[in-house]
Amino acid sequence: MAMKWAWAFSTDQSAAKLVALGWTSTTPHVATTMDTSVKHTYTGDAVSKRASAKMGSSSYLTTPFNTAHTDGWVAVPINVATGFYAPMTLLKVEATGSNSIYVLPVTTGASPTTLALYVNNVFQANSTATIALNVWHYVAIKYSASTSTWTASLWLDGAEIVTTGTETGVSVPFGSAAVTRILIMAPSYGVGVPAYYGGIVSYDNVSDAGETVLFCSTIEPTSDDSTVGTWTPSTGTDDYAVATPWDTATYTEDTAGASGDLVRMGCPSISSHLGISPTVHAIVSQAVVEGGADFQALFNDGTSDSVGATVTSGGSAPTYGYSTVTSGLTASTTVKVGVKVP
């Protein structure tokens, strides 16, 4: 049991690209953009494309399905610019819009503010600890929702601030992890006033240390490694050059789509890419595929492949899949990513 999924925001992303690969979004006042002026970063950070998701008041992003588990944690770093707006959800884990666990500011306009925890739309408690403006805070929800009795607690910057609340009699449990996802919504006060999110992390078990403050970073392939089958780039001669940054206009194609076909692309070392040699909790290989065939996102550590769940791609629309590896990782681990036909 460990980290299930993670996402880092990057300068080559956009809300439109996220929606195209399976996220949902709304921008009632100001469109969500990738911002480099306020970043969740650390001393020595060398990731040139690091960004935060800058979201206007009441704007939201919801991750693809199967990015959260029925029991576990969801966590985000957040920085709110100018005042809080109490009705807006800071963080939510949901199976549908009506079956959810979420946290929101308690007061409107004030700074600092306490936070409130809700389980299936039922208020649990307000925190005594507060969240301030123009500071990066790490907000995490620990929850269990795989049965008709849900529990959840709220954590801020590594400490529990609302103890476990329980809701009984919830008639529709989360059920399958395949329908569970995460929502972030700018809880900021005033039209267009931004909140910044530095990334998203989820875990698949309540025993995980989901309160631990983590940094999410993108890493892109910079070389071709190996293939099985015949893969043809949409332009040029390199698979890695068309695979990232992700865009529907560029791709590498396996027209045969035979079982066992795969493409692997090499990435720079983790330590050189990050600028430091940190503890590595997980690597998530992300893949977006169309054409109607089944596929698996692939990660290779230089010795063996690890693949994610089998996903059926859309016939003429991008479909998202991922593979998460959580063991045996260090800053010197070889990183190869790609996709495989199961």
Same domain, yes or no: 169 and 281: no
Number of domains in the chain: 2
Mean residue pLDDT of the chain comes to 93
Same domain, yes or no: 179 and 114: yes
Same domain, yes or no: 117 and 190: yes
Distance CA 50, CA 319 (A): 24
| In-domain check, residue 208 | no
- Residue 248 reports pLDDT greater than 80: yes
Same domain, yes or no: 56 and 167: yes
CATH number of the structural domain spanning residue 132: 2.60.120.200
Same domain, yes or no: 27 and 163: yes
Q: Per-residue pLDDT averaged across 18-46, rounded?
A: 90
Same domain, yes or no: 42 and 189: yes
The pLDDT value given to residue 169: 63
Same domain, yes or no: 175 and 240: no
* 92: containing domain: 3-203
* Residue whose token pair is 């859309």: 314
| In-domain check, residue 218 | no
Same domain, yes or no: 271 and 170: no
Residue 120: how many CA atoms within 13 Å on its side-chain side? 18
Same domain, yes or no: 82 and 181: yes
Q: Which of 304, 296, 309 is nearest to 328 (CA)?
A: 304
Residue 18: how many CA atoms within 13 Å on its side-chain side? 24
For residue 312, the cross-strand partners are 294
Lowest model confidence (mean pLDDT) among 128-137, 161-170, 312-321: 161-170
Distance CA 340, CA 342 (A): 6
3-state helix vs strand vs coil in the chain, percent to 5: 5, 40, 55
pTM of the model: 0.95
Same domain, yes or no: 121 and 21: yes
| In-domain check, residue 211 | no
The pLDDT value given to residue 23: 95
Side chain identity at 197, as an amino acid letter?
Y
pLDDT in tens, 142-168: 999 988 889 999 999 999 999 988 887
Please name the helix (run of DSSP H) or strand (run of DSSP E) that holds residue 325, with its range, or none.
Answer: strand 319-325
Q: What is the DSSP letter of 197?
A: E
